[in-house]
Amino acid sequence: MKDSRPAEDGGAIRRRRICPDCSGRFTTFERVQLRDLMVVKKSGRRVPFERDKLARSIHTALRKRPVEEERVERMISGIVRQLESTGESDIPSEAIGRLVMEALRGFDDVAFVRFASVYRDFREARDFESIISELTAAPETQTEDRG
């Protein structure tokens, strides 16, 4: 190991390493996992929570958007911390979707609409009109149930 330091606001350890075989250098990130989380799908099926899958869905919504990767990583880490701090091991997929929607709402409007179109299974143009009107509504008039 070459170097070790905190990363992501202390939520991870960044380590610079050297391969003993080829002397190549690389970086690893080690995160503290408070508990093993299981995602409960709408069908009732339980699958292990995967941070990488969450990150992929957020990155897909943010594709070609002008956002800093560090801010995206902080948002993902924040969502994971919220899930871990619920005290529950089984997390409904809808709850994860709601947390992502809340995070994207204040992060990037286009990504918010993109994610909502998949999360809410949009089928018609009026579905987009509805989410855009929700997005542009004054904070006092926004509903708590977004999914």
Confidence class for position 8, pLDDT limits 50, 70, 90: low
Q: Quickly state the pLDDT bin for 94 (edges 50, 70, 90).
A: very high
Q: What is the pLDDT of residue 2?
A: 57
Structure confidence at residue 127 (pLDDT): 86
Using one digit for the tens of pLDDT, what is the confidence trace for 13-71?
Answer: 778 888 889 988 888 877 655 567 999 998 999 999 999 999 999 999 999 999 999 89
Residue carrying structure tokens 């941070």: 51
Listed by start position, the domains of the chain span 37-134
H or E stretch at 27: strand 25-31
pTM of the entire structure? Answer: 0.67
Mean pLDDT estimate for the chain: 83
Tell me: the pLDDT tens digits for 74-87? Answer: 999 899 989 988 88
The whole-angstrom separation of Cα 77 and Cα 71 is 10
Sheet-wide strand order for 38-40? 46-48, 38-40, 90-92
**Given this model, what pLDDT does residue 145 score?**
45
